[in-house]
Amino acid sequence: MKELPTPTLALSRLGLRDTLWPQPPQLPQPTVAGGVVAAWARHQDEVREAQRLRWRVFVEEMGARLPTSLPGHDVDLFDDFCEHLLVRAEPGGDVVGTYRVLTPAQARRVGGTYSDTEFDLTRLRGLRERMVELGRSCVHPDHRQGGVILALWGALAAFMHRNRLDTMIGCASIPMLQNGVNGGDAAASIWRQLSATHMAPIQYHVQPRLPLPVEQLDGSLDVEPPALIKGYLRLGAKVLGAPAWDPDFNTADLPMMMRLADLPPRYRRHFLGA
């Protein structure tokens, strides 16, 4: 097995001032009722487990068309630079949920973030030294009752706090396939709703490189955002701009940002004990 570096080590060279953060507490390994356990991948074979789950969800379930160097695995150039967070249904069990996390140091090494390929993030340049990118979030269809995503978020919050990082960004996907019909009307409608209620301050707005043509779509539908986006919004996340179209995944991707300072008090207590 290929041993991976400890996730926190690469962050020790960021050079952030100690005055930005108090001394972080030693937080326990995140677990939730029922034996669900979140942990960071330490070996290449654990990353492969995450990549197989991603293939099952994105390709086999959602119909994405993804190039891959390893059959049955969702693999791209960012994976080798990311930390991979895994949730298992029980200790030693199968991986049932995953995120990948690109730290500021690793983003510099790879030349940017995945979000940079979909959006012009120029206005976020002042945040990058304390900003991580979240991506490839997915949960096994048999484990979508809430416990897995809470375990993922708890581990992410602890990781951010432990490494004195304060901002998370990422592309939140809205499927273009609705009721068996391809089209962007649902995505345009969700964008219309959220642009009126959950926009970030204008100094953080970004521009899609391949915009979803929302002006040509029916944005008047009464549809709810996907569960993951609703969860982000409950945690205080903001939308950074209009959606991009991702033809490989056949999704409309909303750029979103979540800052630890914006966590509602009850979630701050739950995830950080503060």
Delimit the domains of the chain by residue range.
30-272
Q: Are strands 36-40 and 83-88 parallel, antiparallel or unpaired?
A: antiparallel
Provide the CATH topology of domain 30-272. Aminopeptidase (3.40.630)
Position 6 pLDDT exceeds 60: no
Which pLDDT score, from 0 to 100, does residue 36 have?
85
Which has the higher per-residue pLDDT, 147 or 177?
147
Give me the residue label for tokens 């990058």: 128
pLDDT of res. 4: 54
User: Which pLDDT value is given to residue 146?
Assistant: 75
Span 78-88, average pLDDT: 97
**Distance between CA atoms of residues 10 and 6, nearest Å:** 8
Residue 180 pLDDT exceeds 70 = no
**Does residue 10 carry a pLDDT above 50?**
no
pLDDT in tens, 213-236: 999 999 999 999 998 899 999 999
In terms of Cβ atoms closer than 10 Å to its own Cβ (0-12, 13-18, 19+), residue 91 is exposed
pTM here is 0.86
The CA-atom distances, in angstroms, between 177 and each of 44, 128, 198, 205, 244 are 33, 33, 24, 27, 15
Output the CA–CA distances (angstroms, integers) from residue 5 to 1, 37, 107, 125, 185, in the order listed: 13, 20, 16, 27, 44
Q: Do the bridges between strand 131-139 and strand 167-175 make them parallel or antiparallel, or are there none, so unpaired? A: parallel
**pLDDT given at position 260:** 92
pLDDT band at 273 (very low <50, low <70, confident <90, very high): confident
Q: Residue range 160-178: average pLDDT?
A: 92
pLDDT at residue number 274: 66
